[in-house]
Amino acid sequence: MSNQEQHDAAHRPVQRKEMSRRQFLSYTLGGTTAFMMGGAVLPMVRFAVDPLLVKKGEGTFVKVVEESKITTEPLEVKFKIHQIDGWYESEPELVAWISKDAQGNIFALSPVCKHLGCTIFWNTKGQNEYDCPCHDARYSKDGKNITVANAPLDEYEVEVNKENGFVYLGPLKPNTRV
- Please list every residue from 119 through 178 that binds ligand FES, using CB under 6 A: 132, 134-135, 137, 148
Task: List 93's β-bridge partners, or say none.
Answer: 80
Task: List 65's β-bridge partners, or say none.
Answer: 167
* Chosen residue from 64, 77, 94, 113 binding ligand FES by CB under 6 A: 113
In terms of CB distance, is 70 or 120 closer to ligand FES? 120
Contact between 153 and 109 (Cβ < 8 Å)? yes
CB of 120 to ligand FES, least distance (A): 7
CB of 125 to ligand FES, least distance (A): 13
In terms of CB distance, is 75 or 118 closer to ligand FES? 118
- Please list every residue from 56 through 85 that binds ligand FES, using CB under 6 A: none
In terms of CB distance, is 137 or 169 closer to ligand FES? 137
In terms of CB distance, is 107 or 139 closer to ligand FES? 139
Q: Cβ–Cβ contacts within 10 Å for residue 109, how many?
A: 26
Contacts of 98 (CB under 8 A, 6+ apart): 64, 65, 70, 74, 75, 77, 106, 107, 108, 109, 158, 167
Q: Is the dihedral of CA 169, 170, 171, 174 positive or negative?
A: negative
Which residues of the chain form contacts with ligand FES (CB under 6 A)? 113, 115-118, 132, 134-135, 137, 148
